[in-house]
Amino acid sequence: MVYNFVARLIARLGFIAFWIGVIALFVYFSPITNLLLKPPRSISVATWPDYIDEDSVREFEKKTGVTVYINFYENNEELLSKLELTKSRGFDLVLPTDSSTRTLIKNGMLKKLDKSKLNFWKDLDSRLLGHYFDPKNEYSIPYYWDLIGIGYDKAAFKGAPVNSWSLLFEEGVTLGHVGMTDDPREVIFTAAQYLFGSIKDLSKEQLEQVKELLLKQKRWVESYSDLRGEFLLYSKTSSAAMIPSFQVWSGIKSGQFNDLGFMVPKDAFMLIDNVVIPKSGSNTDLVYEFINFLYKKDVLRINSDLHGFLPSRKDLMLERNNSHMVGAENLSTLKDFKKFSFFDSSISRQDLNQVWLAVKAA
């Protein structure tokens, strides 16, 4: 009697566990769900939130009869993990940042572009082409980009603050606390740039100095915040924060935060988010149709105007007002972007993790 009860209980628990596992698998690997269930005229896209306007997607679907499944990710680590675990099956189009683009190319996970199928290439801002992660742009198309600098509260400074990373890394230069991103690559590279003027070929001793600087700085860091640094400025919790320019742009455009400024140090960093096609993707002709739609001037302008992302089309850059950027007020007239650095892979993930764990554990 007891044996039968226990056997039935174990069977029921096993049944429940099985279906919980199936549901969890389908939730986490949503591209697999799409792969199994999606109609033939459809594509699956992995992108950052707010990068592709949903109303525009509905317009594309209505005109073409192609169903577009959008999958969001919050950071590059999440994207790379999903692509590695699924071997990119179920994704037809992906929008990674430059460092992740380089990793995907290195690992042989992307298709080469057929540029004859792209009707907008001549409209791209040529300054965004030919960078370290894809020197010939054989695999990637720049989509949106941004500068990482220092957002600051003008009311907290008497006159213009010094145009330097010292606003964040030297105690007392900024009154009160500062905000930092929660991305170890960005924080560690910026600290190295501040200390040594370069992030290339850092020695173990230099990485140790970076760690010591970040441990010291932690005393006046309000928080390490992933894509939420602007709230520290909006609430006046911090007088300065390491953030991308679009966050300050959005606050100023709202009309509620007119005291915000954005400083572009001479050794500032830039990010380029790209459109790439996974090697295992399907429905390639539909993918190119959707890419051409995304790069239409009116479509690309939507999120540039709404969220402040810097566009990849040169005609849209000429229309852009960047007067809030101290140190880069006229981005559209810069000859090239060689003055800016990238968060590339010159420091190994292992070294980054060792430094970051020491800082966060302190």
Phi (first) and psi of residue 4, to 5 degrees = -65, -40
* DSSP-assigned beta bridge partners for residue 260: 153
Q: What local confidence, expressed as pLDDT, does residue 2 receive?
A: 46
Largest CA distance in the chain: 84
Q: What local confidence, expressed as pLDDT, does residue 349 receive?
A: 83
Neighbours of 328 (CB within 10 A): 20
Spatial distance between the Cα atoms of 303 and 221, rounded to a whole number of angstroms: 31
The CA-to-CA distance between both ends of the chain, in Å, stands at 57
Neighbours of 346 (CB within 10 A): 15
Structural domains for the chain = 10-144+273-321 (3.40.190.10), 146-270+341-361 (3.40.190.10)
Q: What local confidence, expressed as pLDDT, does residue 214 receive?
A: 98
Structure tokens at 149: 């600098």
Q: What local confidence, expressed as pLDDT, does residue 326 receive?
A: 86
Q: Map tokens 């320019």 to a residue.
A: 245
Ranges under pLDDT 50 in the chain: 2-3, 5-6, 22, 24-28, 34-35
Give a three-class secondary structure readout of the chain.
Answer: CHHHHHHHHHHHHHHHHHHHHHHHHHHHCHHHHHHHHCCCCEEEEEECCCCCCHHHHHHHHHHHCCEEEEEECCCHHHHHHHHHHHCCCCCCEECCEHHHHHHHHHCCCECCCCHHHCCCHHHECHHHCCCCCCCCCCCCEEEEEEEEEEEEEHHHCCCCCCCCCHHHHCECCECCCEEECCCHHHHHHHHHHHHHCCCCCCCHHHHHHHHHHHHHHHHHEEEECCCCHHHHHHCCCCCEEEEEHHHHHHHHHCCCCCCEEEECCCCCEEEEEEEECECCCCCHHHHHHHHHHHCCHHHHHHHHHHHCCEECEHHHHHHCCCCCEECCCCHHHCCCCCCCEECCCCCCHHHHHHHHHHHHHC
Neighbours of 231 (CB within 10 A): 16
Q: What local confidence, expressed as pLDDT, does residue 17 receive?
A: 56
